[in-house]
C-alpha cells in the first residue's frame, strides 16, 4: 500500500469493529497521548495545522470552527452530525459499521480540546446495523473506561449521548439537528445566532461530521503536518468517496484530495457499465450541480477545483450517469426527494420545492408546455438565498444545473411529449 489511509487501513472481518481489534491496529493511543500529555489548545492547534476541512459538505476548516467557540463558557456541547441523508452519500454508514471506535476516540479528543462534558451523536433513524454497532462500541468503551467519568484515570470526563433521528433529511442541517435533539420538530433556525454562539440548549455548540471527527485520532497520532502533506495545498488529507450509479464496481473509496475523477471512475470503479459512454457526473451528493464528461476530463477531487468547475465537492457522493439515461426523469426523482423532504417552515422552499416537482413531473409525463423551463428558472431564482437553511438551495441547484446542461432534452420532452431516451437503459 503506497497511499496513506485514515480509514481503509485494515481488513474488514467479522470482528474488525470490536474494541480489541481497534486497539490492535493502534486505536485509543492517540487519546492516551492527548489526555496525558497535551493541553486542549495544543489539540486545537494540531487540528488547525492539519488543514482538516469539514467532511459533511460545506468544507469549513474544522480547527477554525473550534476556535470560534468561547472556551470560557461554563457549558459547551459537541454534536456529531451522523444524519447522513444526502442521496448518493454512504460514507458515515461504513464508519459506524466497521470502526465506530475511531469516531468515539475522535469525539473524546475533540471534547477534550473544546472542554465539553456532554457530547451528542445524532444518528440517522434509518441506520440499523450502524446504530447497533455504535451502541456496542460505546458499551465496550464505557466498560474500558474510555468514555464517561475520569477517562483513562485522568481528570477528564465526557459522556456521549446518542440520539436517533426520526427520518427527516432536513435534520442533517446543523440548526435543525439541534432543535431535534432538544425535542422539537426539526425546523432549522434563523442565523445569526450561529451554533458556535448559541446552539444546543442555547449554549455554544460545535457540530462536526462523522468523517471529520473520525479523522481526528489519526491527526493526533501522526501529527497535523503529516496530514496536511496529503492532498492538495488548500484541501488536505484523504476523503471517503462513495461512487454509485452506472459503474462496474460501485462502492466506497478512500482517496487523497486532488485525486482525478476520471481515474476514480475508469480505474477504481472499472469504467461505465456495459462499456457505455459517460453522460454526466453528480460530483458530491444529489444537491450539487451536475457536470459533463468534458468538465471532469481533467478535474481533480478537491473543493477548489470542483468549485471552479461550477459545482461542489459536497459530501463526496459521486453519482455516475451513463449515456442513454433520461435526464428529465432523473431530475424528477431528485425533485420529488426535495419536495418530500422540505421541512415546510419557510415559504419559498415549502411551496417552491413542491411546485418544481409538480412541473417536472408533468413534463416527465409528457404534459409539458412551452414556458415550463422559464417558469422553473424563475422559481429557483425565487428560492435561492431566500430560505432559512440551505435545503432550498439544495433543491434548486440540481434543477438549475440540469436545465443549463441538458436543456435540449427537456425541450425535446416538452415538444414531443416523450423522452429522447425511450425504453429501459440497456446496461
Partner 1 sequence: MIEITIDNKTVEANEGETVLQAALRNGIEIPHFCYHPCLSIAGNCRVCLVKVDGRPKLMPACNQTVAPNMVVETEAPEVQSARAAVMQFIMLNHPGDCGICDKAGECRVQEYQFKYGMAEPISIEPKHHKKKFNYLSERIVLDNERCILCSRCVRFTREVSKSAQLGIVERGSHSYVARLDAQPFDDPYSDNVLGICPTGALLSREFMYKSRVWYLEPVRSVCTRCARGCSVNVWRRKKHWYVRSLGEEKNITAYRISPLENPEINGRWICNTGFDLHKFMARPRAMAPMMAGNTVTVDEASAEANRLLAGATNPAIILSAHASNEELQAFKEKLSPRVQVYTREDYCPAEGEVVEDDLLIRADKNPNSYSVHAMFGQKAFSAAAGHDVVIVWGDQVDYTSLGNAKIIHLTSYAPEQETRADVLLPISTTFERSGTFCNFEGKTNRFEQVFDKPKLVQHASDLFGRL
Q: Which stretch binds partner 1 (CB under 8 A): 11-19, 98-106, 321-329, 350-358?
A: 350-358
Q: Which is nearer to partner 1, 26 or 385 (CB)?
A: 385
H, E, C per residue of the chain: CCCCCCCCCCCCCCCCCCHHHHHHCCCCHHHHHHHHHCCHHHHHHHHHHHCCECCCCCCCEHHHHHHCCCCCCCCCEEEEEECCCCCCCCHHHHHHHHHHHHHHHHHHHHHHHHCCCEEEEEECCCCCHHHHHHHHHHHHHHHCCCCECCHHHCCCCEEEEEEECCCCHHHHCHHHHHHHHHCCCCCCCCCCCCCCCCCHHHCCEEEEEHHHHHHHHHHHHHCHHHHHHCECCCCECEEEEEEEECECCCEEEEEECCEEHHHHHHHHCCCEHHHCCEEEEECCCCCCCCECHHHHCCCEECHHHHHHCCCCCCCCEEEEEECCCCHHHHHHHHHHHHHHHCCCCCHHHHHHHHHHHHHHHHHHCCCCCCCHHHHHHHHHHHHCCCCCCCHHHHHHHHHHHHHHHCHHHHHHHHHHCCCCCCCCCCC
378 binds partner 1, rule: CB under 8 A:
yes
Q: Which is nearer to partner 1, 289 or 352 (CB)?
A: 352
Among 6, 137, 168, 219, binds partner 1 (CB under 8 A): 168
293 binds partner 1, rule: CB under 8 A:
no
- Closest approach, Cβ 385 to partner 1, in A, equals 5
The binding track of 121-160 with respect to partner 1, each residue x by CB under 8 A or -, is ----------------------------------------
Q: Which is nearer to partner 1, 281 or 389 (CB)?
A: 389
Q: Which is nearer to partner 1, 75 or 354 (CB)?
A: 354
Among 240, 350, 413, 414, binds partner 1 (CB under 8 A): 350
Q: Within positions 182 to 201, which residues make up the interface with partner 1, using CB under 8 A? A: 185, 190, 192
The binding track of 233-272 with respect to partner 1, each residue x by CB under 8 A or -, is ----------------------------------------
Q: Within positions 314 to 343, which residues make up the interface with partner 1, using CB under 8 A? A: 339-343
Among 75, 197, 354, 373, binds partner 1 (CB under 8 A): 354
Q: List interacting residues with partner 1 (CB under 8 A).
A: 168, 185, 190, 192, 339-348, 350-355, 358-359, 362, 369, 375, 378, 381-383, 385-388
Amino acid at each position: 500500500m503506497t497511499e496513506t489511509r485514515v480509514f481503509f487501513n485494515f481488513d474488514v472481518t467479522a470482528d474488525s469493529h470490536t474494541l480489541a481489534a481497534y486497539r490492535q491496529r493502534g486505536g485509543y493511543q492517540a487519546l492516551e497521548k492527548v489526555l496525558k500529555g497535551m493541553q486542549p489548545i495544543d489539540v486545537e492547534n494540531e487540528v488547525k495545522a492539519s488543514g482538516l476541512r469539514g467532511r459533511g459538505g460545506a468544507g469549513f476548516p474544522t480547527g477554525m470552527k473550534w476556535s470560534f467557540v468561547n472556551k470560557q463558557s461554563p457549558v459547551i456541547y459537541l454534536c456529531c452530525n451522523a444524519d447522513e441523508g444526502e442521496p448518493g452519500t454512504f460514507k458515515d454508514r461504513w464508519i459506524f459499521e466497521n470502526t465506530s471506535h475511531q469516531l468515539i476516540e475522535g469525539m473524546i479528543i475533540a471534547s477534550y480540546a473544546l472542554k465539553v462534558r456532554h457530547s451528542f451523536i445524532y444518528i440517522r433513524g434509518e441506520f440499523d446495523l450502524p446504530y447497533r454497532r455504535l451502541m456496542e462500541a460505546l458499551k465496550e468503551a464505557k466498560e474500558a473506561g474510555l468514555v464517561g467519568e475520569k477517562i483513562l484515570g485522568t481528570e477528564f470526563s465526557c459522556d456521549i449521548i446518542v440520539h436517533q433521528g426520526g427520518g427527516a433529511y432536513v435534520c442533517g442541517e446543523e440548526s435543525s439537528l439541534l432543535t431535534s435533539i432538544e425535542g422539537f420538530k426539526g425546523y432549522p433556525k434563523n442565523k445569526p445566532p450561529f451554533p458556535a454562539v448559541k446552539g444546543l440548549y442555547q449554549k455554544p455548540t460545535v457540530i462536526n461530521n462523522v468523517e471529520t471527527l473520525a479523522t481526528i485520532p489519526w491527526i493526533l497520532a501522526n501529527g497535523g503536518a503529516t496530514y496536511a502533506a496529503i492532498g492538495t495545498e488548500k484541501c488536505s488529507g484523504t476523503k471517503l468517496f462513495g461512487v454509485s450509479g452506472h459503474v462496474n464496481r460501485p462502492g466506497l473509496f478512500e482517496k487523497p484530495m486532488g485525486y482525478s475523477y476520471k481515474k476514480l471512475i475508469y480505474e477504481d470503479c472499472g469504467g461505465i457499465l456495459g462499456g457505455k459512454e459517460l453522460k454526466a457526473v453528480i460530483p458530491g451528493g444529489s444537491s450539487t450541480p451536475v457536470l459533463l464528461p468534458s468538465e471532469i476530463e481533467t478535474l481533480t477531487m478537491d473543493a477548489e477545483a470542483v468549485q471552479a468547475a461550477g459545482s461542489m465537492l459536497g459530501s463526496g457522493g459521486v453519482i455516475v450517469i451513463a449515456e442513454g439515461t433520461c435526464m428529465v426523469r432523473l431530475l424528477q426523482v431528485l425533485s420529488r426527494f426535495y419536495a418530500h423532504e422540505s421541512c415546510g417552515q419557510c415559504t419559498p422552499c415549502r411551496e417552491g420545492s413542491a411546485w418544481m416537482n409538480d412541473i417536472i413531473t408533468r413534463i416527465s409525463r409528457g404534459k409539458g408546455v412551452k414556458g415550463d423551463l422559464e417558469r422553473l428558472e424563475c422559481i429557483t431564482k425565487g428560492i435561492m438565498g431566500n430560505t432559512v437553511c440551505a435545503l432550498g438551495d439544495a433543491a434548486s441547484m440540481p434543477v438549475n444545473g440540469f436545465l443549463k446542461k441538458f436543456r435540449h432534452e427537456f425541450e425535446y420532452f416538452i415538444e414531443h411529449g416523450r423522452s429522447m431516451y425511450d425504453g429501459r437503459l440497456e446496461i
